[in-house]
Amino acid sequence: MDTARDSIANTVHIAENMTGETVKSVIVSVNCGRPKSEIVSFEAPIANGEVGPADIRRVLQRGRRIENELDRALIHSIPVGFRLDEARGIRDPRGLFGETLGAEVHTVTAEAGPVRSLAACVRDCHLEIDRFVIAPYAAGLATLVEDEWTLGATVIDMGAGVTGVAVFADGEIVHADTVPIGGEQVTRDLAHGLSTPIEQAELLKIRYGSALTQPSDDRSIIEIPAIGADEHVPSHPAPKSLLTGIIRPRIEETLELVRSRLEETPYLARAGRRIVLSGGACQLKGLPQLASTIFDSKVRIGRAIPFDGLAETAMGQAYTTCTGLLRFAAENRANADGIGSALGTFVAAQADNRSRFGRFGGWMKEHFR
């Protein structure tokens, strides 16, 4: 916890010095607490027979009961469709008449304990939390082009500790998940397998690491620093193929676990046609080719899509989640009345008319700030 607090405080201090502004509140990415994604239904009576803003607000606020009933933190609550009495598939219920308004809502929740711990770290730094955003969703905001939002794509965000997964279709995030393996595990595998310090293993991974073996790897010799080595203890030579032999099984395990999780959902056949890799751990050579084989899909490395004010140095794979949070903040202002937390991700998904809800999304954004 102390390390996390120090990291947050130092980052904010640097940002304040660079901009001359005082940071009072933040939007925080979440990859902890075993995020769970599901479609749930809520309904509420229509007050005066005609659907108005208050009725839409009332039915969407029903999603807050999940936090109390399941002891899970509600990260996102995204409307994917409305129904009016027995009529389903309604995109825009405004002005329609009926007795009961229902909503199909995509919820993303996480275990409350880890989220509370993360929140405590942030607040100990004298910062308020405007919103939580699931990390792979932020990565998708940063990297996906319009056609990928509409036709379907899966973002695999390969971080240090975990790998996040987000599936997008019809302009919305429709599924989110995480697997508890990341680039840090690859580094530890190398440290153990090569008998080298963790810091040196990380450097070796960055300089020579690959997910695929090349014909010349057996002849390419690299020097491996020994544990506890100093200037009097020589390093030992090893073929580059030894590194790949350690790295590849862990990467395969990670991607196959992601595929297995996606196979349990109804989205693999559609969104699995296009895979976008993001995060610092996706920079290994040969990773897109290996992922393409495992998923039998087109795979590309995601880079942040430029927007005004985004520095060139922030467009790399390691910064996609942070860049996505910037885009989220620009497109979706936090709300004081509480409904913003329920609609935040939905509103962001409407940008540039990416959602099937079209103009109704713009209306939601205008009326529920």
Is 27 in contact with 325 (CB distance < 8 Å)?
yes
Q: Are 161 and 240 in the same domain?
A: yes
In this structure, are 298 and 216 located in the same domain? yes
Same domain (yes/no): 196, 246: yes
Q: Is 5 within a domain? A: no
Cα distance between residue 129 and residue 118, in whole Å: 10
Residue 178 lies in a domain: yes
Q: Rounded mean pLDDT of 57-82? A: 79
- pLDDT at position 231: 60
Per the domain annotation, does 323 fall within a domain? no
Q: Which domain holds residue 240?
A: 145-304
Q: Which CATH number characterizes residue 160's domain? A: 3.30.420.40
Do 243 and 361 belong together in one domain? no
Q: What are 254-310's pLDDT values in tens digits?
A: 999 999 999 998 887 777 689 999 999 999 999 999 999 999 999 999 999 888 777
Q: How far is residue 211's CA from residue 249's CA, in Å, rounded to a whole number? A: 9
3-state secondary structure 53-105: HHHHHHHHHHHHHHHHHHCEEEEEEEEEEEEECCEEEECCCCCCECCEEEEEE
Q: Is the model more confident about 61 or about 193?
A: 193
Looking at the structure, tell me whether residues 299 and 157 fall in a common domain. Answer: yes
Amino acid identity of 359? Answer: R
Is residue 322 a part of any domain in this protein?
no
Q: How is residue 230 written in tokens?
A: 């100093």
Say if residue 77 is in the same domain as residue 220: no
Query: Under 8 Å CB-to-CB from 203, ≥6 apart: which residues?
Result: none
Q: Are both 190 and 297 inside the same structural domain? A: yes
Number of domains present in the structure of the chain: 2
86: in domain = yes
The whole-chain average pLDDT of the chain stands at 85
Tell me how far apart the alpha carbons of residues 247 and 185 are, in angstroms, rounded to a whole number: 10
**Looking at the predicted structure, is the pLDDT value of residue 354 above 50?**
no
- Regarding predicted confidence, which is higher, 316 or 181? 181
- CA atoms in the 13 A half-sphere facing the CB of 7: 6
Residues 214 and 298 in one domain: yes
- Do 39 and 127 lie in one domain? The reply is yes
Whether 195 and 300 map to the same domain: the answer is yes
- Is residue 86 located within the same domain as residue 153? no
CATH number of the CATH domain containing 351: 3.30.1490.110
Residues 168 and 71 in one domain: no
The sign one gets for the Cα dihedral 7, 210, 196, 223 is: negative
